[in-house]
Amino acid sequence: PVAGTPAAPPLPVPPVPPRIATGPDYEHCLDMLTNDPAGANAFADAWEATGGGDGAVHCHALAIITLGDPLKGAAMLEHLADGSHAPPLARAQIYGQATQAWLMADDAGHAYTAGTKALALAPHDAELLIERSVAAATTGRYLDAIDDLTQALAVDPRRADALTLRAAAWRYEGKLDQARDDVDRALAIDPDYPEAYLERGILRQRRGDRTGAQADWQRAISLSPDTATADLAQQNLALLEAGPSTN
């Protein structure tokens, strides 16, 4: 077997607009997330206790995730988006963050549900479609993932990440020609995209091209050292050295 299941994207901290609240306290709390998540957590906790509203809850949830508890943070984000009276696009972004946090917590079922809520509010958002596709693929629903990624690519045809994820989904469905087409398109758009080299190496290995697979995996490692992608590529190189693969 080869290692190559796509990973969830990292949680965007601080979040991109549209945001669910405004004001200096909200901005101050979000600004602390990257360099002082414990400080952000304490600030948000106190602010929430004194009526901070959606902004306090949002920052508190993101701080909890950043401090290593994505399960609790995901539930907070989804509950926040469920009850907020913010504009639909802002709520959709919060559901999107919940989707990613559920994936970080290895709960793809809840991630898919949150992603579906997000897309009900923003059905043509490529980022949200890609996020839900990862949840679908993680639960083995590769055709659902392909549908979401195809919609995302209709919105933004130059998303190398969406093409690479769709290539992996095609591979799991046994459609290797479609997978190769997508990964080639991804590399034409971004010749330095490490995940695409990881995937193309898997496809080359499946076709018996050990030399090509080895070159692609080494390229993935050189482009993105000390990452999950590099770790998967290294695992595949070790398996290649160990002997022929049956998967």
**Are 25 and 55 a contacting pair, CB within 8 Å?**
yes
| Predicted confidence (pLDDT) per residue in 65-123, tens digit | 999 999 999 999 999 999 999 999 999 999 999 999 999 999 999 999 999 999 999 99
**Are 112 and 100 a contacting pair, CB within 8 Å?**
no
pLDDT tens, residue order, the chain (247 aa): 555 654 445 555 555 656 899 999 999 999 999 899 999 999 999 999 999 999 999 999 999 999 999 999 999 999 999 999 999 999 999 999 999 999 999 999 999 999 999 999 999 999 999 999 999 999 999 999 999 999 999 999 999 999 999 999 999 999 999 999 999 999 999 999 999 999 999 999 999 999 999 999 999 999 999 999 999 999 999 999 987 654 4
Domains and CATH numbers, the chain: 1-156 (1.25.40.10), 160-247 (1.25.40.10)
Q: How many Cβ atoms sit within 10 Å of the Cβ of residue 140?
A: 11
> Residue type at 76?
M
Q: Taking the C-alpha atoms of 103, 109, 115 and 120 in order, what is their torsion angle to the nearest 10 degrees?
A: -170
Q: How many Cβ atoms sit within 10 Å of the Cβ of residue 177?
A: 9
pTM of the model: 0.90
> Residue type at 146?
I
> Residue type at 13?
V
Distance CA 66, CA 31 (A): 13
Distance CA 25, CA 52 (A): 9
Distance CA 40, CA 26 (A): 10
Distance CA 104, CA 101 (A): 5
Q: Which of 128, 126, 106, 127 is nearest to 117 (CA)?
A: 128
- 125-to-15, 58, 130, 246 alpha-carbon distances in Å: 15, 21, 9, 38
Cis peptide bond prior to 18, omega within 30° of 0: yes
- 127-to-7, 24, 131 alpha-carbon distances in Å: 15, 28, 6
Q: Ramachandran region of residue 21, left (φ > 0), alpha (ψ -120 to 50) or beta?
A: beta
Chain center to CA of 188:
22
**Are 54 and 80 a contacting pair, CB within 8 Å?**
yes
